[in-house]
Structure 1
Amino acid sequence: MKYKAIKKQEDRYYINEYQFFYVDKEEMKARMSEIQFPAIVMDTEFFNRSHESYDYDEKAFPRLYDEEQKDLVYVLQYSFAKNFKEIHNRQNSKAIKSMTIKRSFKDSEYSFEAQYDSTVKSFINMCINKNIKTLVFAGKENDARILKSWINKNKALLNNKRSDLFVINHKTKEYDVNAFDIYNVLSQNMSFSNFDKQGSQFYEPKNLKPGKKGENTLALPSLKKFFDYMQTIYPNNQFEEEEDIYNLCVSALRFFSYKESNFKDYLKWNKDVKRAKTHCYNDVLKLLYLIDFLYVFMFYDDSENKYIKK
Protein backbone atom coordinates (compact mmCIF):
# COMPACT_ATOMS: atom_id res chain seq x y z
CA MET A 1 0.00 0.00 0.00
CA LYS A 2 1.06 3.58 -0.57
CA TYR A 3 1.30 5.96 2.37
CA LYS A 4 1.22 9.76 2.36
CA ALA A 5 -0.64 9.74 -0.96
CA ILE A 6 -3.85 11.53 0.05
CA LYS A 7 -4.15 15.30 0.09
CA LYS A 8 -6.79 17.06 2.17
CA GLN A 9 -8.55 20.14 0.84
CA GLU A 10 -11.23 21.51 3.15
CA ASP A 11 -13.43 18.49 3.95
CA ARG A 12 -12.38 16.48 0.90
CA TYR A 13 -9.66 13.85 0.83
CA TYR A 14 -8.07 13.72 -2.62
CA ILE A 15 -6.51 10.46 -3.79
CA ASN A 16 -5.45 12.06 -7.07
CA GLU A 17 -6.54 14.88 -9.35
CA TYR A 18 -10.00 13.38 -9.94
CA GLN A 19 -10.84 11.10 -7.05
CA PHE A 20 -11.78 12.29 -3.60
CA PHE A 21 -13.93 11.15 -0.72
CA TYR A 22 -15.68 12.49 2.37
CA VAL A 23 -15.59 10.89 5.82
CA ASP A 24 -18.14 11.26 8.61
CA LYS A 25 -15.64 10.56 11.38
CA GLU A 26 -17.93 10.80 14.39
CA GLU A 27 -20.67 8.58 13.01
CA MET A 28 -18.04 6.15 11.71
CA LYS A 29 -16.49 5.98 15.17
CA ALA A 30 -19.91 5.36 16.72
CA ARG A 31 -20.64 2.50 14.31
CA MET A 32 -17.21 0.90 14.65
CA SER A 33 -17.48 1.01 18.45
CA GLU A 34 -20.18 -1.66 18.10
CA ILE A 35 -17.37 -4.15 17.49
CA GLN A 36 -16.63 -5.79 20.83
CA PHE A 37 -13.18 -7.31 21.29
CA PRO A 38 -11.68 -9.84 21.12
CA ALA A 39 -13.12 -10.33 17.66
CA ILE A 40 -12.65 -12.54 14.63
CA VAL A 41 -12.44 -10.97 11.17
CA MET A 42 -13.54 -13.66 8.75
CA ASP A 43 -15.00 -14.86 5.48
CA THR A 44 -16.32 -18.17 4.17
CA GLU A 45 -16.84 -19.87 0.84
CA PHE A 46 -19.76 -22.25 0.53
CA PHE A 47 -21.84 -24.10 -2.01
CA ASN A 48 -25.56 -24.79 -2.20
CA ARG A 49 -28.28 -25.70 -4.68
CA SER A 50 -27.60 -22.55 -6.72
CA HIS A 51 -24.22 -24.02 -7.71
CA GLU A 52 -25.75 -26.98 -9.50
CA SER A 53 -24.68 -26.38 -13.11
CA TYR A 54 -26.88 -27.03 -16.15
CA ASP A 55 -25.48 -30.56 -16.58
CA TYR A 56 -25.75 -31.47 -12.90
CA ASP A 57 -26.39 -35.18 -12.29
CA GLU A 58 -27.52 -36.08 -8.78
CA LYS A 59 -26.53 -39.72 -9.27
CA ALA A 60 -22.95 -38.73 -10.06
CA PHE A 61 -22.87 -35.91 -7.50
CA PRO A 62 -25.17 -36.80 -4.57
CA ARG A 63 -26.43 -33.72 -2.75
CA LEU A 64 -24.63 -33.01 0.50
CA TYR A 65 -26.97 -30.16 1.48
CA ASP A 66 -30.60 -30.35 2.51
CA GLU A 67 -33.35 -28.09 3.83
CA GLU A 68 -31.75 -28.02 7.27
CA GLN A 69 -28.26 -27.21 5.99
CA LYS A 70 -28.75 -25.31 2.75
CA ASP A 71 -25.27 -23.74 2.60
CA LEU A 72 -22.16 -25.87 3.19
CA VAL A 73 -18.91 -24.08 4.00
CA TYR A 74 -15.78 -25.67 2.57
CA VAL A 75 -13.30 -22.85 3.26
CA LEU A 76 -13.17 -20.58 6.29
CA GLN A 77 -10.48 -17.91 6.65
CA TYR A 78 -10.21 -15.90 9.85
CA SER A 79 -8.03 -13.54 11.83
CA PHE A 80 -8.06 -12.85 15.57
CA ALA A 81 -8.02 -9.25 16.76
CA LYS A 82 -7.61 -7.98 20.32
CA ASN A 83 -8.35 -4.39 19.30
CA PHE A 84 -8.11 -1.96 16.38
CA LYS A 85 -4.56 -0.99 17.29
CA GLU A 86 -3.36 -4.57 16.89
CA ILE A 87 -4.76 -4.67 13.34
CA HIS A 88 -3.11 -1.31 12.68
CA ASN A 89 0.36 -2.32 13.90
CA ARG A 90 0.81 -5.91 12.73
CA GLN A 91 1.55 -7.50 9.36
CA ASN A 92 -1.97 -8.60 8.54
CA SER A 93 -0.98 -10.85 5.65
CA LYS A 94 0.59 -13.20 8.22
CA ALA A 95 -2.29 -13.03 10.70
CA ILE A 96 -4.84 -15.12 8.78
CA LYS A 97 -5.66 -18.75 9.59
CA SER A 98 -7.86 -21.22 7.76
CA MET A 99 -10.11 -24.23 8.13
CA THR A 100 -10.68 -26.26 4.97
CA ILE A 101 -12.51 -29.44 4.05
CA LYS A 102 -10.09 -31.79 2.26
CA ARG A 103 -10.36 -34.75 -0.07
CA SER A 104 -7.73 -37.04 -1.56
CA PHE A 105 -8.16 -38.88 -4.84
CA LYS A 106 -9.94 -42.23 -4.33
CA ASP A 107 -9.92 -41.80 -0.55
CA SER A 108 -11.97 -44.68 0.83
CA GLU A 109 -12.10 -42.99 4.25
CA TYR A 110 -13.45 -39.68 2.93
CA SER A 111 -16.56 -38.37 4.66
CA PHE A 112 -17.67 -34.82 3.98
CA GLU A 113 -20.19 -35.00 6.81
CA ALA A 114 -17.60 -36.08 9.39
CA GLN A 115 -15.13 -33.37 8.36
CA TYR A 116 -17.87 -30.75 8.26
CA ASP A 117 -19.15 -31.63 11.71
CA SER A 118 -15.61 -31.54 13.10
CA THR A 119 -14.90 -28.16 11.47
CA VAL A 120 -18.11 -26.62 12.80
CA LYS A 121 -17.51 -27.82 16.35
CA SER A 122 -13.85 -26.78 16.26
CA PHE A 123 -14.75 -23.26 15.18
CA ILE A 124 -17.50 -22.87 17.78
CA ASN A 125 -15.28 -24.21 20.57
CA MET A 126 -12.49 -21.89 19.48
CA CYS A 127 -14.82 -18.90 19.68
CA ILE A 128 -16.04 -19.93 23.14
CA ASN A 129 -12.59 -20.74 24.55
CA LYS A 130 -11.06 -17.51 23.26
CA ASN A 131 -14.01 -15.47 24.54
CA ILE A 132 -14.69 -14.03 21.08
CA LYS A 133 -17.35 -11.33 21.28
CA THR A 134 -17.87 -10.27 17.65
CA LEU A 135 -17.54 -11.80 14.20
CA VAL A 136 -16.69 -9.13 11.62
CA PHE A 137 -17.75 -9.68 8.01
CA ALA A 138 -17.82 -7.77 4.76
CA GLY A 139 -21.46 -8.52 4.02
CA LYS A 140 -22.77 -10.56 6.93
CA GLU A 141 -26.16 -11.80 5.72
CA ASN A 142 -25.15 -15.24 4.43
CA ASP A 143 -22.27 -15.87 6.82
CA ALA A 144 -24.17 -14.82 9.93
CA ARG A 145 -27.08 -17.05 8.93
CA ILE A 146 -24.72 -20.00 8.50
CA LEU A 147 -23.02 -19.37 11.86
CA LYS A 148 -26.41 -19.09 13.54
CA SER A 149 -27.43 -22.47 12.16
CA TRP A 150 -24.13 -23.95 13.38
CA ILE A 151 -24.56 -22.88 16.98
CA ASN A 152 -28.24 -23.81 17.14
CA LYS A 153 -27.43 -27.28 15.86
CA ASN A 154 -24.71 -27.60 18.51
CA LYS A 155 -26.29 -25.95 21.55
CA ALA A 156 -24.72 -28.55 23.83
CA LEU A 157 -21.32 -26.94 23.25
CA LEU A 158 -22.53 -24.00 25.33
CA ASN A 159 -23.66 -26.08 28.31
CA ASN A 160 -22.39 -24.44 31.51
CA LYS A 161 -20.47 -21.89 29.44
CA ARG A 162 -20.93 -18.18 28.97
CA SER A 163 -20.56 -16.45 25.62
CA ASP A 164 -20.96 -12.85 24.49
CA LEU A 165 -20.86 -14.02 20.89
CA PHE A 166 -23.69 -16.53 21.00
CA VAL A 167 -26.63 -14.95 22.81
CA ILE A 168 -29.86 -16.78 23.55
CA ASN A 169 -33.10 -15.24 22.33
CA HIS A 170 -35.50 -16.06 25.15
CA LYS A 171 -38.55 -15.75 22.90
CA THR A 172 -37.39 -18.17 20.22
CA LYS A 173 -35.05 -20.23 22.45
CA GLU A 174 -32.54 -19.94 19.61
CA TYR A 175 -29.07 -18.45 19.72
CA ASP A 176 -28.25 -15.28 17.80
CA VAL A 177 -24.73 -14.41 16.67
CA ASN A 178 -23.16 -11.04 17.41
CA ALA A 179 -22.01 -10.21 13.88
CA PHE A 180 -20.83 -6.87 12.51
CA ASP A 181 -21.02 -5.87 8.85
CA ILE A 182 -18.28 -3.45 7.76
CA TYR A 183 -20.36 -2.51 4.71
CA ASN A 184 -22.68 -0.49 6.94
CA VAL A 185 -19.73 1.77 7.76
CA LEU A 186 -18.33 1.88 4.24
CA SER A 187 -21.66 2.73 2.61
CA GLN A 188 -23.04 5.05 5.31
CA ASN A 189 -20.00 7.01 6.49
CA MET A 190 -17.89 7.49 3.36
CA SER A 191 -18.89 9.18 0.10
CA PHE A 192 -16.82 8.96 -3.09
CA SER A 193 -16.60 11.13 -6.21
CA ASN A 194 -17.65 9.19 -9.30
CA PHE A 195 -14.31 9.20 -11.13
CA ASP A 196 -11.54 6.70 -11.71
CA LYS A 197 -7.88 7.72 -11.57
CA GLN A 198 -7.95 8.74 -15.26
CA GLY A 199 -10.92 11.06 -14.74
CA SER A 200 -13.49 8.82 -16.42
CA GLN A 201 -16.73 7.76 -14.77
CA PHE A 202 -15.97 5.15 -12.12
CA TYR A 203 -19.39 3.50 -12.04
CA GLU A 204 -22.84 3.90 -13.50
CA PRO A 205 -24.58 6.02 -10.82
CA LYS A 206 -27.94 4.37 -11.46
CA ASN A 207 -26.49 1.11 -10.16
CA LEU A 208 -25.18 2.44 -6.85
CA LYS A 209 -26.73 4.42 -4.03
CA PRO A 210 -25.68 8.07 -3.76
CA GLY A 211 -23.19 9.09 -1.10
CA LYS A 212 -24.45 10.73 2.08
CA LYS A 213 -22.27 13.79 1.56
CA GLY A 214 -21.32 15.93 -1.43
CA GLU A 215 -22.87 16.33 -4.86
CA ASN A 216 -22.82 13.45 -7.34
CA THR A 217 -21.02 11.14 -4.91
CA LEU A 218 -21.42 7.39 -4.56
CA ALA A 219 -21.61 4.90 -1.73
CA LEU A 220 -19.32 1.91 -2.34
CA PRO A 221 -21.02 -1.20 -0.94
CA SER A 222 -18.33 -3.84 -1.44
CA LEU A 223 -14.67 -4.64 -0.85
CA LYS A 224 -14.08 -5.05 -4.58
CA LYS A 225 -15.45 -1.61 -5.42
CA PHE A 226 -13.50 0.01 -2.58
CA PHE A 227 -10.18 -1.48 -3.70
CA ASP A 228 -10.93 -0.85 -7.37
CA TYR A 229 -11.49 2.78 -6.44
CA MET A 230 -8.38 2.95 -4.25
CA GLN A 231 -5.88 1.74 -6.84
CA THR A 232 -3.67 4.76 -6.16
CA ILE A 233 -3.35 3.70 -2.50
CA TYR A 234 -3.29 -0.05 -3.12
CA PRO A 235 -1.52 -0.20 -6.51
CA ASN A 236 -0.37 -3.82 -6.52
CA ASN A 237 -2.30 -6.51 -8.33
CA GLN A 238 -2.21 -9.10 -5.55
CA PHE A 239 -6.00 -9.28 -5.47
CA GLU A 240 -6.50 -9.91 -9.19
CA GLU A 241 -8.14 -13.26 -9.85
CA GLU A 242 -8.83 -15.07 -13.10
CA GLU A 243 -11.88 -17.08 -12.07
CA ASP A 244 -15.23 -15.86 -10.78
CA ILE A 245 -15.90 -17.18 -7.27
CA TYR A 246 -19.28 -18.57 -8.36
CA ASN A 247 -17.60 -20.87 -10.87
CA LEU A 248 -15.08 -21.96 -8.25
CA CYS A 249 -17.94 -22.91 -5.94
CA VAL A 250 -19.51 -24.94 -8.76
CA SER A 251 -16.25 -26.89 -8.94
CA ALA A 252 -16.18 -27.23 -5.15
CA LEU A 253 -19.65 -28.77 -5.16
CA ARG A 254 -18.48 -31.38 -7.66
CA PHE A 255 -15.17 -31.96 -5.88
CA PHE A 256 -16.72 -32.71 -2.51
CA SER A 257 -19.73 -34.68 -3.75
CA TYR A 258 -18.55 -36.85 -6.67
CA LYS A 259 -19.06 -40.61 -6.38
CA GLU A 260 -16.42 -41.41 -8.99
CA SER A 261 -13.93 -39.23 -10.82
CA ASN A 262 -11.05 -39.49 -13.22
CA PHE A 263 -7.77 -37.96 -12.12
CA LYS A 264 -7.96 -35.10 -14.63
CA ASP A 265 -11.29 -33.85 -13.26
CA TYR A 266 -10.09 -34.36 -9.70
CA LEU A 267 -7.04 -32.17 -10.32
CA LYS A 268 -9.13 -29.48 -12.02
CA TRP A 269 -11.68 -29.31 -9.19
CA ASN A 270 -8.99 -29.48 -6.52
CA LYS A 271 -7.19 -26.57 -8.18
CA ASP A 272 -10.41 -24.55 -8.17
CA VAL A 273 -10.93 -25.27 -4.47
CA LYS A 274 -7.43 -23.93 -3.81
CA ARG A 275 -8.27 -20.84 -5.86
CA ALA A 276 -11.40 -20.35 -3.76
CA LYS A 277 -9.25 -20.62 -0.65
CA THR A 278 -7.00 -17.87 -2.04
CA HIS A 279 -10.04 -15.74 -2.89
CA CYS A 280 -11.33 -16.17 0.66
CA TYR A 281 -7.91 -15.29 2.11
CA ASN A 282 -7.77 -12.17 -0.07
CA ASP A 283 -11.19 -11.04 1.11
CA VAL A 284 -10.13 -11.34 4.76
CA LEU A 285 -6.92 -9.45 4.01
CA LYS A 286 -8.89 -6.73 2.21
CA LEU A 287 -11.22 -6.52 5.18
CA LEU A 288 -8.28 -6.11 7.56
CA TYR A 289 -6.78 -3.42 5.31
CA LEU A 290 -10.13 -1.63 5.23
CA ILE A 291 -10.49 -1.79 9.02
CA ASP A 292 -7.00 -0.32 9.38
CA PHE A 293 -7.87 2.44 6.89
CA LEU A 294 -11.06 3.31 8.78
CA TYR A 295 -9.26 3.15 12.13
CA VAL A 296 -6.67 5.71 11.04
CA PHE A 297 -9.32 8.15 9.82
CA MET A 298 -11.40 7.65 12.99
CA PHE A 299 -8.79 7.95 15.70
CA TYR A 300 -5.84 9.87 14.25
CA ASP A 301 -5.66 13.58 13.65
CA ASP A 302 -5.09 14.35 9.98
CA SER A 303 -1.59 15.59 10.87
CA GLU A 304 -0.73 12.07 12.12
CA ASN A 305 -2.65 10.10 9.49
CA LYS A 306 -0.19 7.82 7.65
CA TYR A 307 -2.18 8.07 4.41
CA ILE A 308 -2.23 11.88 4.24
CA LYS A 309 0.47 13.91 2.54
CA LYS A 310 1.76 16.58 4.91
Structure 2
Amino acid sequence: MQALLQEAASRLHAIEDRLTVRTQIAAAVAAMSIALVSTLAAGAAIISYRHTAALIESSVAGIASSTSARLDRFMATRRQEMKLFTELEPMQRLWQGDPTELRSALEALQRNFDFTWIGFADLNGNVVASTGGLLQGKSVAARPWFKQGLENVVVGDVHEALLLASLLTQRANNEPYRFVDIALPVRDTSGKVIGVLGGHLDWTWASNLIADVQANDGNTDTRLSILSKGGMVLVGPKRETIRYGGDELADMLKVRDGTFRETVDGQQMLTAFHVGNGYRDYQGLNWIVTAS
Protein backbone atom coordinates (compact mmCIF):
# COMPACT_ATOMS: atom_id res chain seq x y z
CA MET A 1 0.00 0.00 0.00
CA GLN A 2 2.80 2.36 0.89
CA ALA A 3 4.47 1.60 -2.39
CA LEU A 4 1.33 2.55 -4.28
CA LEU A 5 1.07 5.86 -2.44
CA GLN A 6 4.69 6.68 -3.21
CA GLU A 7 4.17 5.89 -6.91
CA ALA A 8 1.07 8.16 -7.05
CA ALA A 9 2.94 10.99 -5.36
CA SER A 10 5.80 10.64 -7.83
CA ARG A 11 3.36 10.88 -10.74
CA LEU A 12 1.73 14.00 -9.25
CA HIS A 13 5.12 15.65 -8.82
CA ALA A 14 5.94 14.80 -12.44
CA ILE A 15 2.70 16.40 -13.62
CA GLU A 16 3.40 19.49 -11.50
CA ASP A 17 6.91 19.74 -12.95
CA ARG A 18 5.52 19.49 -16.49
CA LEU A 19 2.90 22.13 -15.76
CA THR A 20 5.53 24.42 -14.31
CA VAL A 21 7.72 24.08 -17.40
CA ARG A 22 4.77 24.69 -19.69
CA THR A 23 3.73 27.69 -17.64
CA GLN A 24 7.24 29.08 -17.79
CA ILE A 25 7.43 28.53 -21.53
CA ALA A 26 4.03 30.16 -22.02
CA ALA A 27 5.05 33.11 -19.87
CA ALA A 28 8.28 33.47 -21.81
CA VAL A 29 6.45 33.34 -25.13
CA ALA A 30 3.93 35.90 -23.91
CA ALA A 31 6.70 38.22 -22.75
CA MET A 32 8.51 37.87 -26.06
CA SER A 33 5.27 38.60 -27.92
CA ILE A 34 4.64 41.71 -25.86
CA ALA A 35 8.23 42.88 -26.45
CA LEU A 36 7.94 42.19 -30.19
CA VAL A 37 4.60 44.03 -30.46
CA SER A 38 6.00 46.97 -28.47
CA THR A 39 9.07 47.10 -30.70
CA LEU A 40 6.96 46.97 -33.85
CA ALA A 41 4.61 49.66 -32.50
CA ALA A 42 7.54 51.90 -31.56
CA GLY A 43 9.10 51.36 -34.99
CA ALA A 44 5.81 52.14 -36.72
CA ALA A 45 5.46 55.30 -34.63
CA ILE A 46 8.99 56.41 -35.56
CA ILE A 47 8.36 55.69 -39.25
CA SER A 48 5.03 57.52 -39.11
CA TYR A 49 6.66 60.52 -37.40
CA ARG A 50 9.46 60.65 -39.93
CA HIS A 51 6.99 60.33 -42.80
CA THR A 52 4.84 63.14 -41.38
CA ALA A 53 7.91 65.31 -40.81
CA ALA A 54 9.03 64.68 -44.39
CA LEU A 55 5.59 65.63 -45.71
CA ILE A 56 5.60 68.87 -43.68
CA GLU A 57 9.11 69.71 -44.87
CA SER A 58 8.14 69.03 -48.47
CA SER A 59 5.01 71.16 -48.09
CA VAL A 60 6.71 74.29 -46.72
CA ALA A 61 9.54 73.92 -49.22
CA GLY A 62 7.02 73.71 -52.06
CA ILE A 63 5.15 76.79 -50.85
CA ALA A 64 8.39 78.81 -50.63
CA SER A 65 9.48 77.69 -54.10
CA SER A 66 6.13 78.29 -55.83
CA THR A 67 5.72 81.71 -54.21
CA SER A 68 9.21 82.72 -55.29
CA ALA A 69 8.41 81.62 -58.84
CA ARG A 70 5.22 83.71 -58.84
CA LEU A 71 7.18 86.79 -57.77
CA ASP A 72 9.69 86.32 -60.55
CA ARG A 73 7.05 85.67 -63.20
CA PHE A 74 5.16 88.80 -62.19
CA MET A 75 8.28 90.95 -62.50
CA ALA A 76 9.30 89.29 -65.75
CA THR A 77 5.85 89.99 -67.22
CA ARG A 78 5.91 93.68 -66.22
CA ARG A 79 9.41 94.01 -67.65
CA GLN A 80 8.34 92.44 -70.94
CA GLU A 81 5.27 94.68 -71.15
CA MET A 82 7.44 97.78 -70.86
CA LYS A 83 9.85 96.49 -73.48
CA LEU A 84 7.10 95.61 -75.96
CA PHE A 85 5.48 99.00 -75.42
CA THR A 86 8.65 100.85 -76.48
CA GLU A 87 8.81 98.72 -79.65
CA LEU A 88 5.23 99.38 -80.80
CA GLU A 89 5.26 101.02 -84.23
CA PRO A 90 2.52 103.59 -83.36
CA MET A 91 4.71 104.82 -80.50
CA GLN A 92 7.58 105.86 -82.76
CA ARG A 93 6.01 109.17 -83.73
CA LEU A 94 4.97 109.93 -80.13
CA TRP A 95 8.30 109.77 -78.32
CA GLN A 96 9.42 113.06 -79.82
CA GLY A 97 5.97 114.34 -80.75
CA ASP A 98 3.12 115.93 -78.83
CA PRO A 99 3.62 115.36 -75.05
CA THR A 100 -0.15 115.33 -74.54
CA GLU A 101 -0.59 112.39 -76.93
CA LEU A 102 2.36 110.61 -75.36
CA ARG A 103 0.88 111.09 -71.89
CA SER A 104 -2.41 109.57 -73.07
CA ALA A 105 -0.56 106.53 -74.39
CA LEU A 106 1.35 106.12 -71.10
CA GLU A 107 -1.87 106.37 -69.12
CA ALA A 108 -3.45 103.69 -71.30
CA LEU A 109 -0.50 101.43 -70.44
CA GLN A 110 -0.93 102.24 -66.76
CA ARG A 111 -4.65 101.41 -66.77
CA ASN A 112 -4.05 98.00 -68.29
CA PHE A 113 -1.25 96.95 -66.01
CA ASP A 114 0.01 97.50 -62.45
CA PHE A 115 2.17 100.62 -62.59
CA THR A 116 1.72 103.48 -60.14
CA TRP A 117 3.69 105.84 -62.35
CA ILE A 118 5.15 105.73 -65.86
CA GLY A 119 7.18 108.49 -67.41
CA PHE A 120 9.35 109.19 -70.44
CA ALA A 121 12.47 111.29 -69.92
CA ASP A 122 14.67 112.68 -72.69
CA LEU A 123 18.44 112.22 -72.88
CA ASN A 124 18.97 115.06 -70.41
CA GLY A 125 16.73 113.42 -67.82
CA ASN A 126 13.81 115.83 -68.18
CA VAL A 127 10.39 114.15 -67.92
CA VAL A 128 8.62 114.90 -71.21
CA ALA A 129 5.36 113.10 -70.38
CA SER A 130 4.07 111.03 -67.49
CA THR A 131 0.94 109.47 -66.07
CA GLY A 132 -1.13 112.02 -64.20
CA GLY A 133 1.38 114.66 -65.26
CA LEU A 134 3.38 113.80 -62.11
CA LEU A 135 7.01 115.01 -62.40
CA GLN A 136 6.32 116.24 -65.93
CA GLY A 137 8.86 118.96 -66.70
CA LYS A 138 11.03 117.87 -63.75
CA SER A 139 14.49 116.30 -63.91
CA VAL A 140 15.11 112.67 -63.00
CA ALA A 141 18.69 112.77 -64.24
CA ALA A 142 20.05 111.86 -60.80
CA ARG A 143 17.81 108.84 -60.33
CA PRO A 144 19.53 105.44 -60.68
CA TRP A 145 16.76 104.04 -62.87
CA PHE A 146 17.32 106.81 -65.43
CA LYS A 147 21.11 106.50 -65.49
CA GLN A 148 20.99 102.72 -65.88
CA GLY A 149 18.01 102.83 -68.22
CA LEU A 150 20.06 104.73 -70.81
CA GLU A 151 22.12 101.57 -71.31
CA ASN A 152 19.97 98.52 -70.62
CA VAL A 153 16.66 97.15 -69.42
CA VAL A 154 16.98 97.39 -65.65
CA VAL A 155 14.89 96.34 -62.66
CA GLY A 156 15.63 98.14 -59.41
CA ASP A 157 15.07 96.70 -55.94
CA VAL A 158 12.43 97.90 -53.46
CA HIS A 159 12.83 101.50 -52.28
CA GLU A 160 10.73 104.28 -50.82
CA ALA A 161 9.30 106.91 -53.11
CA LEU A 162 11.50 109.99 -53.20
CA LEU A 163 10.49 112.46 -55.89
CA LEU A 164 6.91 111.14 -56.00
CA ALA A 165 6.35 110.93 -52.24
CA SER A 166 4.81 114.40 -51.91
CA LEU A 167 2.77 114.09 -55.10
CA LEU A 168 0.88 110.89 -54.35
CA THR A 169 -2.23 110.64 -52.19
CA GLN A 170 -1.40 109.86 -48.57
CA ARG A 171 -2.27 106.30 -47.61
CA ALA A 172 -4.94 105.78 -44.96
CA ASN A 173 -2.43 103.96 -42.72
CA ASN A 174 0.26 106.59 -43.36
CA GLU A 175 2.55 103.91 -44.76
CA PRO A 176 5.14 105.30 -47.19
CA TYR A 177 5.00 104.26 -50.81
CA ARG A 178 7.55 101.67 -51.84
CA PHE A 179 8.36 100.97 -55.45
CA VAL A 180 10.18 98.54 -57.69
CA ASP A 181 11.57 100.33 -60.76
CA ILE A 182 11.66 99.12 -64.35
CA ALA A 183 13.45 101.27 -66.90
CA LEU A 184 14.82 100.83 -70.40
CA PRO A 185 16.20 102.86 -73.29
CA VAL A 186 13.81 104.15 -75.95
CA ARG A 187 15.16 104.14 -79.50
CA ASP A 188 14.06 105.82 -82.69
CA THR A 189 13.63 103.98 -86.00
CA SER A 190 17.37 104.16 -86.66
CA GLY A 191 18.19 102.53 -83.33
CA LYS A 192 19.49 105.68 -81.67
CA VAL A 193 18.66 106.12 -77.97
CA ILE A 194 16.39 109.13 -77.50
CA GLY A 195 15.40 108.75 -73.86
CA VAL A 196 14.32 106.41 -71.08
CA LEU A 197 10.94 104.93 -70.24
CA GLY A 198 10.60 104.35 -66.51
CA GLY A 199 7.82 102.69 -64.53
CA HIS A 200 7.22 102.36 -60.79
CA LEU A 201 5.39 99.33 -59.42
CA ASP A 202 3.75 99.83 -56.03
CA TRP A 203 5.27 97.20 -53.72
CA THR A 204 1.86 96.42 -52.20
CA TRP A 205 1.34 93.95 -55.04
CA ALA A 206 3.89 91.67 -53.35
CA SER A 207 2.09 91.94 -50.00
CA ASN A 208 -1.17 91.06 -51.75
CA LEU A 209 0.46 88.05 -53.40
CA ILE A 210 1.75 86.78 -50.04
CA ALA A 211 -1.67 87.31 -48.45
CA ASP A 212 -3.29 85.34 -51.28
CA VAL A 213 -0.89 82.41 -50.84
CA GLN A 214 -1.41 82.33 -47.08
CA ALA A 215 -5.19 82.45 -47.49
CA ASN A 216 -5.11 79.45 -49.85
CA ASP A 217 -2.49 77.26 -48.19
CA GLY A 218 -4.87 74.44 -47.34
CA ASN A 219 -5.22 75.43 -43.68
CA THR A 220 -1.55 74.71 -42.98
CA ASP A 221 -1.16 78.08 -41.26
CA THR A 222 2.02 78.79 -43.20
CA ARG A 223 3.73 82.10 -42.47
CA LEU A 224 5.52 83.66 -45.46
CA SER A 225 8.08 86.43 -45.76
CA ILE A 226 10.02 88.08 -48.58
CA LEU A 227 13.57 89.17 -47.82
CA SER A 228 16.03 91.21 -49.84
CA LYS A 229 19.35 89.70 -50.85
CA GLY A 230 20.76 91.64 -47.90
CA GLY A 231 18.56 89.72 -45.46
CA MET A 232 16.10 92.56 -44.75
CA VAL A 233 12.41 91.71 -44.39
CA LEU A 234 10.48 93.34 -47.25
CA VAL A 235 7.16 91.62 -46.58
CA GLY A 236 6.24 89.78 -43.39
CA PRO A 237 6.66 90.04 -39.62
CA LYS A 238 9.25 92.54 -38.35
CA ARG A 239 9.45 94.32 -41.69
CA GLU A 240 12.54 96.41 -42.43
CA THR A 241 14.64 94.49 -39.91
CA ILE A 242 17.56 92.25 -40.79
CA ARG A 243 16.45 88.65 -40.27
CA TYR A 244 19.56 86.84 -41.52
CA GLY A 245 23.11 87.97 -42.04
CA GLY A 246 26.72 86.87 -42.12
CA ASP A 247 27.53 83.26 -42.99
CA GLU A 248 23.90 82.19 -42.59
CA LEU A 249 22.77 84.59 -45.32
CA ALA A 250 25.76 83.78 -47.51
CA ASP A 251 24.94 80.06 -47.31
CA MET A 252 21.30 80.69 -48.24
CA LEU A 253 22.30 82.70 -51.30
CA LYS A 254 24.79 80.02 -52.28
CA VAL A 255 22.61 76.90 -51.99
CA ARG A 256 19.48 78.79 -53.19
CA ASP A 257 16.90 76.61 -51.41
CA GLY A 258 16.56 74.34 -48.40
CA THR A 259 15.08 73.87 -44.93
CA PHE A 260 16.38 74.38 -41.40
CA ARG A 261 15.12 74.71 -37.85
CA GLU A 262 15.17 78.03 -36.06
CA THR A 263 13.76 79.61 -32.91
CA VAL A 264 11.12 82.27 -33.55
CA ASP A 265 9.45 84.03 -30.63
CA GLY A 266 10.72 81.32 -28.31
CA GLN A 267 9.37 78.44 -30.41
CA GLN A 268 11.26 75.93 -32.53
CA MET A 269 9.94 75.78 -36.08
CA LEU A 270 10.84 74.41 -39.46
CA THR A 271 11.66 77.09 -42.04
CA ALA A 272 12.01 76.58 -45.79
CA PHE A 273 13.63 79.15 -48.06
CA HIS A 274 13.97 79.70 -51.78
CA VAL A 275 16.07 82.34 -53.54
CA GLY A 276 14.48 83.62 -56.75
CA ASN A 277 16.24 82.61 -59.95
CA GLY A 278 14.44 84.99 -62.30
CA TYR A 279 12.32 83.99 -65.25
CA ARG A 280 13.38 83.87 -68.90
CA ASP A 281 15.22 87.12 -69.72
CA TYR A 282 14.60 88.51 -66.25
CA GLN A 283 17.59 87.69 -64.04
CA GLY A 284 15.81 88.32 -60.75
CA LEU A 285 16.80 90.31 -57.67
CA ASN A 286 17.71 87.38 -55.41
CA TRP A 287 14.67 87.91 -53.25
CA ILE A 288 14.46 85.21 -50.57
CA VAL A 289 11.05 83.72 -49.81
CA THR A 290 10.74 81.93 -46.46
CA ALA A 291 7.89 79.69 -45.32
CA SER A 292 7.47 78.54 -41.73
* Bigger RCO of structures 1 and 2 (CA < 8 A, at least 6 apart): 1
TM-score normalised by L of structure 2:
0.25
Bigger proportion of residues as strand? 2
Bigger helix fraction: 2
The normalised TM-score by structure 1 is 0.24
